C-alpha cells in the first residue's frame, strides 16, 4: 500500500478499491500514515468525492475500527437525530427528550463543533455539572432508565472517525458530504 499512490489516484478522480482504502485508513489509525498525508487525502475527497463503493469501504473501516453497542435488548424503536452543525444542534436538545417521552429510545453520540459552529457537546458542557464523558455501561443504563442519553465520542467507538474528525476541523474539509455522512453513520 502506497499512501502517495492512493492520494494521487484520488486527486485524479479515480475510484479506489475497497481493500486499498481499508489498508490506507488502517495504516493511518496505527500511525503509519502521517497526518499530512491523510490531510491531502481528505482534500482529494473534498474535491473529488467518493463513489458508493468507496463510501461503503470507508464507513465499514470506521465502524470496524472500534467497539459497537448492542442495543437490541431495548423493547422499543431506537432513533437518532444527528446534526451537521448550526441551528440543528439546538433542535437535538428539544427533540430527543420529546421523542423519549413518546416511547422511543434515543441513544445519541454527539460531537464538538467543526469549523465555525459550536457542536451539541459544546453547548451542553456550558451547563455547570453536565457530563458527556460517561462510561459506555453507564450510557446504556441511563438509556434503559430514561429512554434518552447523550454521550461524547469515546475512545472505544469509531476511533478512526475521531481522528479524521479532528483532522477535518483543521484542514478545510468539514463541508465534504461523503466525510460528513461516514462520520455520522459510523457512530
* Cβ neighbours of 187 (radius 10 Å): 24
Instruction: Provide the residue ranges of all domains of the chain, joining segments of one domain with +.
Output: 3-66+158-186, 87-152
Q: What is the pTM of this model?
A: 0.84
Contact 165, 171 (CB under 8 A): no
What is the model's pLDDT at position 6? 98
Q: What is the DSSP letter of 118?
A: P
Whole-number pLDDT of residue 115: 55
DSSP 3-state of 149: strand
Segment 170-183 mean pLDDT? 92
- Active-site residue (options: 110, 168, 176, 186): 168
161 is catalytic: yes
Nearest partner of 179 among 64, 76, 44, judged by Cα:
44
pLDDT of residue 30: 97
Annotated catalytic residue: which of 161, 162, 163, 176? 161
- For domain 3-66+158-186, give the CATH number: 1.20.970.10
Active site residue 92: no
Per the residue annotation, which of 82, 123, 166, 169 is the catalytic one?
82
168 assigned to active site: yes
Catalytic residue among 92, 110, 183, 186: 183
Query: How many angstroms separate the CA atoms of 178 and 187, rounded?
Result: 15
Among the listed residues 136, 65, 38, the one whose alpha carbon sits nearest the alpha carbon of residue 46: 38
Amino acid at each position: 500500500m502506497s499512501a502517495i499512490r492512493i492520494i494521487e489516484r484520488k486527486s485524479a478522480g479515480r475510484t479506489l478499491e475497497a481493500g486499498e482504502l481499508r489498508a490506507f485508513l488502517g495504516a493511518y489509525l496505527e500511525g503509519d500514515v502521517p497526518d499530512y498525508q491523510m490531510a491531502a487525502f481528505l482534500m482529494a475527497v473534498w474535491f473529488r468525492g467518493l463513489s458508493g463503493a468507496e463510501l461503503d469501504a470507508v464507513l465499514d473501516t470506521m465502524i470496524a475500527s472500534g467497539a459497537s453497542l448492542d442495543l437490541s435488548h431495548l423493547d422499543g424503536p431506537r432513533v437518532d437525530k444527528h446534526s451537521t452543525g448550526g441551528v440543528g444542534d439546538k433542535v437535538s436538545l428539544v427533540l430527543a427528550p420529546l421523542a423519549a417521552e413518546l416511547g422511543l429510545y434515543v441513544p445519541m453520540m454527539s460531537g464538538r463543533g467543526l469549523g465555525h459552529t459550536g457542536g451539541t457537546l459544546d453547548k451542553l458542557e456550558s451547563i455547570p455539572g453536565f457530563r458527556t464523558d460517561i462510561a459506555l455501561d453507564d450510557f446504556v443504563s441511563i438509556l434503559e432508565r430514561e429512554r434518552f442519553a447523550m454521550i461524547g465520542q469515546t475512545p472505544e467507538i469509531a476511533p478512526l472517525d475521531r481522528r479524521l474528525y479532528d483532522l477535518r476541523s483543521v484542514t478545510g474539509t468539514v463541508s465534504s458530504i461523503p466525510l460528513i455522512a461516514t462520520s455520522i453513520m459510523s457512530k
